Structure 1
Amino acid sequence: MMQSIAKNSLRTITMAAALSGAAACVSAPQEIASNGSAPEALRGYYAQLERATDLPRMTTPALDSSRAITRFAFGSCNHQQRSQDAWPVIGSFDPQLFLAIGDNVYADVGYRGAADLSTFVDAYRLQAGHAEFANFVGAVPTFATWDDHDFGPNDSGGSFFAKEWSETIFENFWASNDRVRSRPGVYDSFTAGPAGQRVQFIILDTRFFRTDLTEYPYQEERRPLGGYAFASNPGDSMLGAEQWRWLEQELAKPADLRIVVSSIQVLTEAHHFESWATMQLERQRLLQMLGNRAASGMILLSGDRHSGAFYRHRPEGMDEEFREFTSSSLNLAFVSDDADAREPDPRRSSPMITEENFGLLDIDWSARRVAMRLMDDEGQEIVGETYSF
């Protein structure tokens, strides 16, 4: 969402001449061809760098999966150099878990293509040093996926040459479980609650495997709402073959309510920034797969946009109306007085909120109803909706 600072399409990536801190004694290749072989060429270098670099590591309480989930929270777009006041506010609502769904730090600030991703390590170190954040993660079970700014450069995807090292940094910081560490990418799922009150959380990775987006040529008469086309290229992939297979298997498992997390928006077509709409065939595949899931309620959660809102959409030929709840950002708001007028959207069922916000969801199992609330940074409800399942 922010100005690009590196081009993944460059054939050659020039490395930083000097590495900072403990990594300085490790000899790095000065040039790596960005042609698909870069990760393999760099693995030996990273094996040394991992031993020499002291990465921050957050630990979080284990979730009691035997208890019914009645309240949880989520958020996105948290800048490590800005106020962290949101964390104690979220904690005051006593959520049973928190979903950090992308841009959890802005690690690419100042990044210039160095293979060691030193700005990423620096960003995580700074974030870990905030007592408000550390205390929150230490008290509330926290689960994370990434978006572009904690994965690589702005709008980057699977062609990012250093994605494997970025994954190592991410998994070390978030103390990822063995499921996540055992495979490429950071996707995961887990289920909590007894039979009849089971919530399955499916956390997607929309970065590690994603093919490059199709650019949308600038048109002067069009509002400046992003630069990517709504493409229908057969070779496009958002999740990669293995994650697609995994997702289909997860959706076949028994659950009463499913929470599906995508770092980028799924339902809207009101802008040309990053979203599932930029890969029309992939989004169609996703919605069909979600529609064919084992019987359950379902809510989509997303972030990325530096705005919050609720969305509804019934795809053509499907009986179900999908519901999506977008929350962004925790501390990096792009406040606008004309967001609704700038981005008219028949699929958006609420005003577009650009102030800092987080999402709070309360599940009433007896009524089979979820209260979804977008909260401001002082803990006041801005807008809310209910979902019955």
Structure 2
Amino acid sequence: RGFKMGRLGFGDQDGIIYAMNYHPRYLDCFLRTQNFMLTGNGPLPYDYRYYIGIMAAARHKCSYIVNKMKEEFLLQGGKEEWLTSFESIPQKLQNLNTLNKILAHQPWTITKEHISELLVGPYSWTVSEIVHALVLLAHFHNLPSFVWGSGIDDNIACKDSNDPSINSVNSGSEEGGLVQYLMERMKSISENSSAKINEDSLKTFESVVASQDLGVQSHDTDVSKDVQMFVRDSLFCYQDFAKRNEPSSFSTLRIQDYCWEEHAFSLICELYNDVGILLDEKFKLSYSLTYYTMGSEKGVDTSFFRRAVWNYVHCLFGVRHDDYNYQEVNTLITRPLKTFIKIVCCYPEKIRKCDMDMVMPEFKYSEKIHVLLMIMEARLQAELLYSLRVLMQYRT
């Protein structure tokens, strides 16, 4: 089956399509969402949409996406001059830079003032335009996590399913090791699932947040000039939401106070309705997707593992679920996997293909792709929660 990718020039042999097609239902949902953002009804002109995608993907130095977006920008009639320097684009787009860098790296620091500044002056945005821009920024901030995490590259041909390197990863070198460990832990959690979430829940959350200090630090990575020209304040990067033995200067975003289902979804449906429905479907599908397998084991309930991955990603960005026992994160997500998730979320340009091969050694390749999809979607949801919450605060 061939796919078109929302006027991005990606054919069915493109790396993104190839990898996501291990999960056809998700791929279909992903394409419908991206197609709508780029080509469907919406307040932003087409050249703005593609340029915002360029700006967003460039924050994580993803030349793979940037170059494809540049091609489509020109096909949409975009001015070639815009691609020569940041100063050549309209001031209205330049004014989006602060929002772009904050949401890409430290979304919890966004304030309603960042929104209000865009709504005034001679180059002002409308509220509906801002919502369209927020969705585009979030989408193209997070797609690089999948591109880098799965090892997709312009110069690397798509791997065939018979590739021995993939098969060797799938079989794993420690049969009965990690998978057996996870199955035993998930069974134990299931048997004790009736345990009450008590006042220690906050302390457990804080301990998981503090454990994010995994020795992962940002550093300069090689980046082409074609990408660098779209980035301002290039040294601005992810900082741990909280450090060990140091209280965070920012409040956590409690899902009980502001969640996707009850708050953000309603707001986005009001201002950009169809995309809210598409995003909601994509979030639910990536979270609930299962084939009841784990490595060579069948008939496995993976819900506890999926929930731990999702909530750990939220934890990295200061999003807290009061009704969740965060001890499950420490129980189910090994330190190497925590490190991998953190790099994919926060510094995706540092990931190498072999990193995905080494974590989850007994997982099938398709299962690793699913983990990447969950990481991408959970991080995207966290970014939208922060940005839409401040938009709601501005409107009230």
Q: Same fold (TM over 0.5)?
A: no
Name which structure has the greater RCO, CA cutoff 8 Å, separation 6+.
2
What TM-score, normalized by structure 2, do the two folds share?
A: 0.25
Higher strand share: 1
| Greater helix proportion | 2
